[in-house]
Structure 1
Amino acid sequence: MCWDISLHSDIEIVKRAFPKLRDERKQLDMNMYYHENVQAILFPNYPIIYRDKDSGDLALTEMEWGVLPGYIQDPKQQADRRRNMINIRSERVLEDRKSYWYRLRNQRCLIPVSGTYEHRKILGWSKKVPYYIAEKDRDIFYIPGLYQWHETVDADGVVEKVGSFGLMTRAANSVMQYIHNDGPNKHRMPLFLPRELEQQWLDDIAEPDMASVFAFEIPTDELAYYPVYTLRGYPERPDGKHRYEPFTWDGLPPLGNDDPKSVQGVLF
C-alpha cells in the first residue's frame, strides 16, 4: 500500500515533458507536496495530469487522493470505503469487470512524483525503517492512476466540481518485496513505468494495450532506494538534512535478511 509520496522537484520539469500541458492548478506552492501522507491528511489535494474529454488537451490540475465512492450515500460509510480507494490494484482493472475500477478504466491520469516511501519491518525492532524509492536518473517520474469528477454542494448551495484519483499498484519486484515486507498489503509496489509507457497511458488505448502497461515490472537496477530517517509523526532529522536524503541506521541488516542477530553472528 503506497500512502507516502513526494514531489520536491521543479514543476517546470512536468511542463517540459508535456509541452502542451494546460495548467489548471489553484495551489502553486510546490512545498505543499514536499511529503504527502494520505494518513496524516485524509484525501489531500495533489497535482495530477489528465486528458480533458471535451477539448482533448492534457491538463495539470489538483485532485483529492482517494477516489470518492459516489455510489455510497452514508457519509461515514463513504469515508470508510474511500480509505480503501487510495490505491488501485492494477490486476482488478480489467480482470474484474464488476469492479468500480473497470468502470473508470478510460479515465486515466498520471501522478507526478520525485519519489515514494515504504516501510520495512526488522525482527525485534519496535519501529519500521522507512525507505525512499525513486526511478534512477529522473527528477520526476509518473505513476499511472484513474480519476473521476463529482459535484459537491456547500452550505450556501454553491456547486463545485471536484476530482479524485487513485494510484496504481502491482505485485512487488525482487527489491520491493524485501522493503515492503509487512502488513496486510505487503509485497506490493507502485506501478513504476518507463517514459514511453507513461505517455501511452494518457493516449486513447485499447484494453490489450492497457494490459501490457499493467504487466510491466520495472527492473531492480532502474530503481534508486535507501533508508531515510523518518516519515510520520517523528521529530525532524538530527542532522538537519531533507526527509528524503539517505540515513544510516545502526545495525540495519541488508535487504533480504530482516534479522539483525544473524548479521551480528556473522560479524563476531
Structure 2
Amino acid sequence: MCYDISFDTSNIRSLEDYFPDLHFDDQIVINYELTAHLQSHGFGNHPIIYINRDDLQPHCRLMEWSVIPHYTKDEDKFKIARLKMANARSERIIGDKTSYWYKIRNRRCLIPVTGAYEHRGVAGWKKKVPYHISVKGERIFFMPGLYAVVELPDKSTGEMIKRYTWTLVTREPICNIAMKNIHNSKEDGQFRMPLFMPLDRAKDWLTEGLSDPEIQERMNYELPEEAMEYFPVDTIRTTKPRADGKRKNDPFEWANLPALGEMNPD
C-alpha cells in the first residue's frame, strides 16, 4: 500500500500548466518545509483535482487524506477505521459491489505529487529502506484516486461542515519487477503500487460518464518499470531532520544495501 507521498513544490499555480482551465475552490497555501513528505495517518490536507458536478470543469481544492464515508455520524468513533481508508484496492472498485469504493466509483480525482514512497524489506535488517518513486520526465505527475463528501459537526461550534476526503488507488504490479522488489514486505501490503499513470491517462481518469467496464479498463494500466525513476532515501517517518541536512526526498546511500531483488525477506 502507499501511505507516503511527496509534493515538493512551492507554486500551487504550476498545476495550471497541466490543466489550463483549472479552477481553484479556495486559497491554497503550500508549506514548502513540509511537502517533501506527507503521510496518510496524519489525515492532512492536500490539493486534489476533481470534476465539479455543477459546471463539469476541473477544480482544485484542499481535501483530507483518508476517506470518511458519507454516512459517518461520529468522526471520533470512525478514527481507527479511517486509517485503513487511505488506499483503495483497484480490484474492489468495480469487482466488489459491496465495497464503499464501488459506491463512490464515479467520484474520481487526481492527486498531484512529485513522488511517492514505498518501503523495502531486506533480510536481516530491522529497518525497512524507503524509496522515492516518480514518473520519468515528469516534474509533477497525477495519481488516480477517489473522493468523498460528508457533513459533520464542527467540534467547537456544532455547525455542520462539509468535509472533502480522498483515497489513493493501488494495484498489484504484474510486469513491473522493480515495484515488486521495492514493496516486498507482507505486513505492508506486499506487492502493491499506486496506480501510476502518464499525464494523458491521468486526465482521462476524470472523464465524466464512464461505464464500469471503462473504469476497469483504465485501472488495468500498469506503468512499466522503464518509465519510473526510483532511489533509496533516508528514514522518512520521523520528525528529526536528516543528519546530512538534506530534504527527505533527496537520495541517500545506505551502507551495504544489496541490489534490488537480492536478500528479500522470506
Give TM-score, length-normalised by structure 2.
0.91
Q: Which residue of 1 aligns with 2:160?
A: 159
Is contact 2:24-2:59 (8 Å) kept? Answer: yes
Q: Which residue of 1 aligns with 2:116?
A: 116
CA distance in 2, matches of 1:259, 1:113: 28
1:21 and 2:25 correspond: no
- The alignment's C-alpha RMSD in Å is 1.7
**Bigger mean CA deviation after superposition, 143-152 or 231-240:** 231-240
Aligned pair in 2 of structure 1 residues 36, 238: CA closer, same or farther (>3 Å)? same
**Bigger mean CA deviation after superposition, 23-32 or 58-67:** 23-32
Write the letter of the residue equivalent to 2:100. Answer: Y
Is contact 1:69-1:82 (8 Å) kept? Answer: no
Is contact 1:50-1:109 (8 Å) kept? Answer: yes
Shift of 1:168: 0.3
Q: Which residue of 2 aligns with 1:174?
A: 177
Give TM-score, length-normalised by structure 1.
0.91
Q: Which residue of 2 aligns with 1:131?
A: 131
Write the letter of the residue equivalent to 1:65. Answer: W
Q: Which residue of 2 aligns with 1:185?
A: 189
CA distance in 2, matches of 1:54, 1:70: 19
Q: Which residue of 2 aligns with 1:214?
A: 219
Q: Which protein has the larger Cα radius of gyration, Structure 1 or Structure 2?
A: 1
Q: For residues 63-110 of structure 1, what are the alpha-carbon distances to aligned partners after superposition, in whole Å with 9 as ceiling and x for unaligned?
A: 111110343545454112211111000111011111111110101100
- Give the length in aligned residue pairs: 258
Give 5+ residue unaligned stretches, structure 1. Answer: 261-268
CA distance in 2, matches of 1:8, 1:232: 16
Aligned pair in 2 of structure 1 residues 152, 169: CA closer, same or farther (>3 Å)? same
CA distance in 1, matches of 2:136, 2:37: 19
Write out the 4+ residue segments of structure 1 that deviate beyond 6 Å after TM superposition: none
Q: Which residue of 2 aligns with 1:79?
A: 79
Shift of 1:184: 4.5
Is contact 1:67-1:165 (8 Å) kept? Answer: yes
Q: Which residue of 1 aligns with 2:90?
A: 90
1:245-264 matches, cutoff 5 A: 245-258=250-263
Is contact 1:33-1:46 (8 Å) kept? Answer: no
Write the letter of the residue equivalent to 2:172. Answer: A
Aligned pair in 2 of structure 1 residues 158, 195: CA closer, same or farther (>3 Å)? same
Matched residue SS, 2:203: helix
CA distance in 2, matches of 1:259, 1:157: 51
Q: For residues 243-262 of structure 1, what are the alpha-carbon distances to aligned partners after superposition, in whole Å with 9 as ceiling and x for unaligned?
A: 111111110000000269xx
1:62 and 2:49 correspond: no
Write the letter of the residue equivalent to 2:217. Answer: S
Give 5+ residue unaligned stretches, structure 2. Answer: none
Q: Which residue of 1 aligns with 2:50?
A: 50
